[in-house]
Amino acid sequence: MGDTKAAMLQEALSKVTAQNVLAQINLQRDQIGATGSQAVRIFAQQIEQVQKSVPGLSTTLNGNRFLVSVADRMGQFNSQIAQMARDWKADPKHRGILGPGWDQRLADWVKSHPIFTDVERSHPEVLGAPTVPPAIRSPMQVQNWGRAMGLKSGDPFRTESGKVLAMP
């Protein structure tokens, strides 16, 4: 009985947490194996640290938003770099390798495309800020939405365009 929507969301978050933990442990195991090591062990402390680093029921809503936002940005960042590497290697003058010039090209690109804005670096709490749904337009609607989300005066939120504002 009870609130089936809340139960479904908790169940989904539990499964997403388990998937994230498993993916990170498998990645660590693969990275250790790639070094030529035959005995690939994952220790309890590593598992504990991975569990702390992924969204979960024991994390606050803003904390989960923060973790998801960081993971999403890192995924996009890695995808962009992978595409740049494929494009570089496809250019006949580079003969299919990431040779001379690649490091500088990548360094220049990373410098001009930071993962986090200046505001996010100086106020990391905005990474956990919820985004106002597109249908909400008026200041009164924003206030009502913010209250329903549990936001207090001064808490950050994002507009549809990505601009960060504070709840009135």
Q: What is the pLDDT of residues 38-59, one digit of tens each?
A: 666 677 777 777 776 667 777 6
> Do residue 32 and residue 64 come from a single domain?
no
73-to-78, 92, 167 alpha-carbon distances in Å: 9, 31, 24
Q: Are residues 10 and 47 in the same domain?
A: yes
Task: Specify whether 114 is located in the same domain as 65.
Answer: yes
Which stretches of the chain score pLDDT less than 70?
1-15, 37-41, 52-54, 59
pLDDT of residue 160: 86
Distance in angstroms between the alpha carbons of the first and the last residue of the chain: 37
Q: What pLDDT was estimated at residue 90?
A: 94
Asked if 165 and 113 sit in the same domain, the reply is no
The count of domains in the chain is 3
Shared-domain flag, residues 104 and 155: no
CB 48 within 8 A of CB 5: no
Per-residue b/e over 9-28, b at no fewer than 16 CB within 10 Å?
Answer: eeeeeeeebeebbeebeeee
Question: Alpha-carbon distance 16 to 55, whole Å?
Answer: 8
Point out which residues pair with 156 in neighbouring strands: 166
Whether 93 and 144 map to the same domain: the answer is: no
Can you give the pLDDT at residue 122? 86
Task: Looking at the structure, tell me whether residues 1 and 54 fall in a common domain.
Answer: yes
Look up the domain containing 43 and give its range: 1-58
> What is the number of helices (H) and of strands (E) in the chain?
6, 2
Q: What is the pLDDT of residue 127?
A: 84
Q: In angstroms, rounded to a whole number, what is the distance separating the alpha carbons of residues 160 and 135?
A: 10
